C-alpha cells in the first residue's frame, strides 16, 4: 500500500516528518518497505469547511507499507489515518461525501438491481450520474501515479481515488450499454465468455460470480469489469457500483483466471460490509468536485443481510496480565476509541466493546489487548517470562521419539537437512508407485505437484548439492512426514551416506562407506529406541538388487513389523542428480511410527552399571553355505542359547584356500555373563554344545 504523505495529511494531523512517521508506524506493527521522497507534486486543492485551500508539502514522500492479510482496513488512507490519529492523539478529518437522496431497495428511474446469489453478494449499492468523460485534473492524476495506479480518465480515476482513500473497490458502467438498464448479480453460466478490461477473452465456469445485464455478463464480481460496458469518451451516463462480495468467491475467481487486481486484493481479505454506501457517496462527491458529472437524485441499496456489531468482553485486569505491565485505564480507552471501537456497558473491572465493521480480525479479548499494546508501545513493555505455576505437560510420544532419533543420528556423524514436503511428480514416481502419490489440488508449479511419498528424493538432492559444491564425504539425515495414498501420513527418518566411512587419517587410506556401514547405523538407532530388529534381503525399485536390506521389528503379537529399508541407490538415479558415476550412494528410510506403536521409549542417556561378575568369551568357527544370511545363523544361536548369552558378534569371514567351493568360514565371538554369579566352564560348555548342534541340524554347519 503506497501512501502519499501529503494526501494522508489531508485526513489527519501528522506532527512529524515523513521519515519519522514511517518509523513510528513501524513501531506499531506496520512493515515499511520503502520511503521515497517525491518533492512537492504541486498545489493540490482540498475541500474543508473553509473552502478550497492550497496544500503544499515540502516534506512529501511516498511510504510503501506491507499490510498483512489480517488488516484489510489499512489498505486505505482512511484506515491508516485512524492509526496515525491514535498514535499521535491527533485530529482526524472525514472526506466530503455527497447527499445521494432517497434510497430504494432495488430500482430507481434509470436503473434496476437484482441480486440472484445473496450468499456471494449480500449487498449491492448503485447510483447514476450524467458525466463528461475527459482527462483528470493534474493533482488527481499525480496522486494516483504516486500510489502506483495509472490514470485513465476522470470517471475511472474517481473510482480509483475513492478506493485508495476509503479502501472499498467500486466500478463504473456505461449505462447506455447495459441491456435493459439492469444489473443482475448472478453466477456465470458454464462456458460463458467475457472480455475483461485488460482486453483478454475469458471463459467462465459456473462457480464464478458475475455482474450481468439482461443479455450477458458485464463484469467479474469483485475482480474486473468487462470491455463491453467500459467507460469511453462517448459515455454520457454511468451506473456506479459499490458492493460487498464474499471473499472466498472473489479469491476463487481470481486464482482460477490468474487475474489479480486492486479490487480483488481487497475483497479477498474481507472488505467492510458497511462501506458500500460510504464509498458510493464519496465517489459521487468527487465527480461533482472535479466537474466530471452530475449525480442524479436517489440511489439503490439492495441488501439481503443485516449485520450487528460483534461484542467482545474485556476484563481490564487481563490487560496487565497479558502484557506484563500496567496500562492506565484512560490510555486503554483512548486507544480503543481512537481506533473506532465503542465501549458500551462497563464498570471498573470489565467492559463490553463493540467491534467496528471494518475490523474483521478482532474477535477475542486478546485481540483488543494487542491493539492496546501496539499503541501503548512495545518498547514500554518489560521483557520477562511468565512464572511457571504448574508442572509442564510431558512431551508427546512423537516428540520424544523425534528428539531421541535426532540425537542418535547426530552422534553417528550425520548432519540434519530439511527439504520441501511438495516435490515433482516425476521425482516421486522414482521412489514410490504412481498409485500411492497424493497430488496437490492447486500446485504452485510442476516442481511442487505432489506430496512426497518418501523423504529420499529431497535427501538425495541435498547429497547432490553438497557433492557439487566440493564435499566428497557427506552424511545427511532428515526427520519428517511422508504421505501415501493408502497408508496416509507416516513419520520417517531418512539417512544418506556418500563417500568415506570415516575421517581421513595418516595411518591408513580411507575406506569408502558400504551397505554394512549404513545398516549398522540403522540397527544402532533401532536398538537404542528399544526395537528388536532382524535383517533380510529385500527389493525396492529405487535400490540396487542384492544390496538392499529389509529391517523388521519384533511385535508383541509375534507378527514382525516392517521398520525400514537400507540399500544402495540405483546409479541411474544418482547420476541423474549430477552425482559422479563412481560414487556409491547408500540410503535408508525408517518408519518412526513403528517405534511409537511397539515400545516404551528408552532413555538412551541412562547409564548402566558395569557387571560385578566376570564374563566368559568363546569363539566359534563354522563352515556354512556362502548363500546363507548371517542373520539366520544369529537367530538360531539366540533360539537355543541360555539367557546368559549376552552378546553375539561376527569377527571373521573367509573364503579361499582350504575352504570348499560354495562354502564360507564364519567366526563368531560369544560372550556369556550372569548378573548375579560367576559362570562355570561346565555351564558354558553345555551352551556351546547346544549351539553347535542347532547350527548343524538347522543349516548343515560344520565346526572347524
Q: Over the stretch 648-676, which tens digit does the pLDDT of each residue have?
A: 988 999 998 889 999 999 999 999 999 88
How far apart CA 243 and CA 513 sit, in angstroms, is 68
Query: Chain-wide mean pLDDT for the chain?
Result: 91
Reported as a single tens digit per residue, the pLDDT across 155-189 is: 999 999 999 999 999 999 999 999 999 999 999 99
How far apart CA 566 and CA 589 sit, in angstroms, is 7
Q: What is the pLDDT of residue 454?
A: 96
Query: How far from 199 is each of 152, 153, 253, CA to CA, in Å?
Result: 15, 17, 17
Backbone angles phi, psi at 607, to 5 degrees: -100, 155
Q: State the residue for C-alpha cell 441488501.
A: 303
Question: Structure pTM?
Answer: 0.63
Q: What is the pLDDT of residue 603?
A: 55
pLDDT band at residue 44 under the 50/70/90 scheme:
very low
CB 689 within 8 A of CB 640: no
> Would you list the domain boundaries of the chain?
2-88, 103-303, 310-380, 397-598, 616-703
pLDDT band at residue 48 under the 50/70/90 scheme:
very low
Looking at per-residue pLDDT, the higher value among 44 and 694 belongs to 694
> How far does CA 562 lie from the centroid of its chain?
32
CB 356 within 8 A of CB 341: yes
- Evaluate whether 2-88 and 616-703 have a shared fold: no
How far apart CA 312 and CA 253 sit, in angstroms, is 33
CATH of the domain spanning 397-598: 3.30.930.10
Reported as a single tens digit per residue, the pLDDT across 589-618 is: 999 988 877 776 555 556 678 888 999 999
Query: How far from 234 is each of 159, 218, 491, CA to CA, in Å?
Result: 18, 18, 66
All three cell numbers of 383: 521483557
Q: What is the pLDDT of residue 254?
A: 95
Q: What is the pLDDT of residue 57?
A: 47
Closest CA to 296 of 280, 276, 275: 280
Name the pairing type of β-strands 474-484 and 415-416: parallel
Reported as a single tens digit per residue, the pLDDT across 127-141 is: 999 999 999 999 999
How far apart CA 512 and CA 497 sit, in angstroms, is 10
Helical ranges in 243-307 per DSSP H: 247-257, 262-269, 275-289
How far apart CA 496 and CA 457 sit, in angstroms, is 11
Per-residue pLDDT for 635 more than 90? Answer: no
**Hey, what CATH topology would domain 310-380 get?**
Phenylalanyl-tRNA Synthetase; Chain B, domain 1 (3.30.56)
How far apart CA 528 and CA 601 sit, in angstroms, is 9
Q: State the residue for C-alpha cell 481479505.
A: 269
Q: What is the pLDDT of residue 645?
A: 94
Which of 8-17, 24-33, 380-389, 419-428 has the weakest average pLDDT?
380-389
Q: What is the pLDDT of residue 39?
A: 58
Which of 31-40, 74-83, 158-167, 463-472 has the weakest average pLDDT?
31-40
* The CATH number of domain 103-303, selected from 3.55.40.20, 3.30.499.10, 3.50.40.10, 3.40.50.1820: 3.50.40.10
pLDDT band at residue 504 under the 50/70/90 scheme:
confident
Query: What's the whole-number mean pLDDT along residues 538-564?
Result: 89
CATH of the domain spanning 616-703: 3.30.70.380
* The CATH number of domain 2-88, selected from 3.40.50.720, 3.20.20.70, 3.30.56.10, 3.20.20.140: 3.30.56.10
How far apart CA 477 and CA 464 sit, in angstroms, is 14
Reported as a single tens digit per residue, the pLDDT across 481-499 is: 999 999 899 999 999 999 9
CB 242 within 8 A of CB 280: yes
Reported as a single tens digit per residue, the pLDDT across 277-303 is: 999 999 999 999 999 999 999 999 999
How far apart CA 455 and CA 427 sit, in angstroms, is 11
Closest CA to 221 of 313, 119, 144: 119
Amino acid at each position: 500500500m503506497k501512501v502519499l504523505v501529503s494526501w494522508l495529511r489531508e485526513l489527519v494531523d501528522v506532527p512529524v516528518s515523513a521519515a519519522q512517521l514511517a518509523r513510528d508506524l513501524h513501531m506499531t506493527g506496520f512493515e515499511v518497505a520503502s520511503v521515497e521522497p517525491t518533492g512537492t507534486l504541486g498545489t493540490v486543492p482540498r475541500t474543508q469547511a473553509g473552502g478550497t485551500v492550497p496544500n503544499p508539502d515540502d516534506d512529501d514522500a511516498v511510504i510503501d507499507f506491507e499490510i498483512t492479510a489480517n488488516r484489510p482496513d489499512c489498505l486505505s488512507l482512511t484506515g491508516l489515518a485512524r492509526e496515525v490519529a491514535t498514535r499521535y492523539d491527533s485530529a482526524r478529518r472525514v472526506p466530503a461525501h455527497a447527499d445521494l437522496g432517497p434510497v430504494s431497495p432495488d430500482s430507481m428511474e434509470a436503473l434496476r438491481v437484482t441480486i440472484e446469489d445473496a450468499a456471494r453478494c449480500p449487498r449491492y449499492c448503485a447510483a447514476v450520474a450524467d458525466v463528461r468523460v475527459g482527462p483528470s485534473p493534474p493533482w488527481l492524476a499525480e496522486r494516483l501515479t504516486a500510489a502506483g495506479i495509472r490514470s485513465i480518465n476522470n470517471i475511472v480515476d474517481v473510482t480509483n481515488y475513492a478506493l485508495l482513500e476509503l479502501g472499498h473497490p467500486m466500478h463504473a458502467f456505461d449505462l447506455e450499454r447495459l441491456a435493459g438498464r439492469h444489473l443482475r448479480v448472478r453466477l456465470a453460466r458454464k462456458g460463458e465468455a467475457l472480455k475483461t478490461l485488460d482486453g483478454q477473452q475469458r471463459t467462465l465456469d459456473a462457480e464464478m460470480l458475475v455482474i450481468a445485464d439482461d443479455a450477458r455478463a458485464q463484469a467479474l464480481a469483485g475482480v474486473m469489469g468487462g470491455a463491453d460496458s467500459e467507460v469511453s469518451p462517448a459515455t454520457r451516463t454511468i451506473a456506479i457500483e459499490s458492493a460487498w462480495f464474499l471473499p472466498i468467491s472473489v479469491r476463487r475467481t481470481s486464482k482460477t483466471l490468474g487475474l489479480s487486481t486492486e479490487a480483488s486484493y481487497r475483497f479477498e481479505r474481507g472488505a467492510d460490509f458497511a462501506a458500500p454506501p460510504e464509498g458510493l457517496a464519496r465517489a459521487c462527491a468527487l465527480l461533482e468536485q472535479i466537474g466530471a458529472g452530475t449525480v442524479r437524485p436517489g440511489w439503490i441499496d439492495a441488501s439481503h443481510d443485516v449485520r450487528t456489531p460483534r461484542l467482545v468482553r474485556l476484563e481490564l485486569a487481563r490487560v496487565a496480565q497479558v502484557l506484563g505491565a500496567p496500562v492506565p485505564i484512560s490510555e486503554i480507552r483512548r486507544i480503543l476509541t481512537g481506533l473506532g471501537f465503542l465501549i458500551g456497558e462497563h464498570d471498573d473491572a470489565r467492559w463490553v466493546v463493540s467491534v467496528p465493521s471494518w475490523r474483521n480480525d478482532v474477535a477475542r479479548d486478546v485481540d483488543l489487548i494487542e491493539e492496546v499494546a501496539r499503541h501503548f508501545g512495545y518498547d514500554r513493555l518489560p521483557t520477562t517470562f511468565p512464572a511457571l505455576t504448574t508442572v509442564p505437560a510431558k512431551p508427546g510420544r512423537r516428540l520424544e521419539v523425534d528428539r531421541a532419533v535426532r540425537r542418535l543420528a547426530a552422534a553417528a556423524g550425520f548432519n540434519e537437512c530439511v527439504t520441501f514436503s511438495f516435490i515433482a511428480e516425476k521425482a516421486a514416481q522414482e521412489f514410490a508407485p504412481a498409485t500411492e502419490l497424493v497430488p496437490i489440488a492447486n500446485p504452485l508449479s510442476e516442481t511442487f505437484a505432489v506430496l512426497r511419498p518418501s523423504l529420499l528424493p529431497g535427501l538425495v538432492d541435498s547429497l547432490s548439492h553438497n557433492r557439487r559444491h566440493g564435499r566428497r564425504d557427506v552424511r545427511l539425515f532428515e526427520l519428517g512426514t511422508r504421505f501415501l495414498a493408502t497408508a496416509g501420513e507416516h513419520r520417517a527418518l531418512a539417512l544418506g551416506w556418500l563417500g568415506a566411512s570415516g575421517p581421513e587419517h595418516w595411518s591408513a587410506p580411507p575406506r569408502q562407506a558400504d551397505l554394512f556401514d549404513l545398516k549398522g547405523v540403522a540397527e544402532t538407532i533401532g536398538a537404542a529406541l528399544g526395537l528388536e530388529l532382524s535383517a533380510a534381503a529385500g527389493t525396492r525399485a529405487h535400490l540396487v538388487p542384492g544390496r538392499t536390506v529389509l529391517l523388521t521389528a519384533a511385535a508383541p503379537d509375534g507378527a514382525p513389523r516392517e521398520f525400514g529399508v537400507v540399500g544402495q541407490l540405483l546409479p541411474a538415479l544418482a547420476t541423474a542428480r549430477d552425482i559422479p558415476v563412481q560414487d556409491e550412494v547408500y540410503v535408508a528410510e525408517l518408519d518412526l511410527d513403528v517405534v511409537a506403536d511397539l515400545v516404551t521409549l528408552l532413555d538412551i542417556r541412562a547409564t548402566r552399571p558395569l557387571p560385578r561378575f566376570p564374563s566368559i568369551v568363546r569363539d566359534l568357527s563354522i563352515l556354512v553355505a556362502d548363500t546363507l544370511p548371517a542373520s539366520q545363523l544369529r537367530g538360531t544361536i539366540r533360539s537355543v542359547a541360555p539367557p546368559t548369552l549376552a552378546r553375539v558378534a561376527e569377527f571373521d569371514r573367509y573364503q579361499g584356500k582350504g575352504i570348499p567351493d560354495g562354502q564360507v568360514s564364519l567366526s563368531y565371538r560369544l560372550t556369556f555373563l550372569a548378573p548375579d554369579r560367576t559362570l562355570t566352564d561346565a555351564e558354558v560348555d553345555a551352551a556351546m554344545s547346544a549351539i553347535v548342534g542347532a547350527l548343524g541340524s538347522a543349516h548343515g554347519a560344520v565346526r572347524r
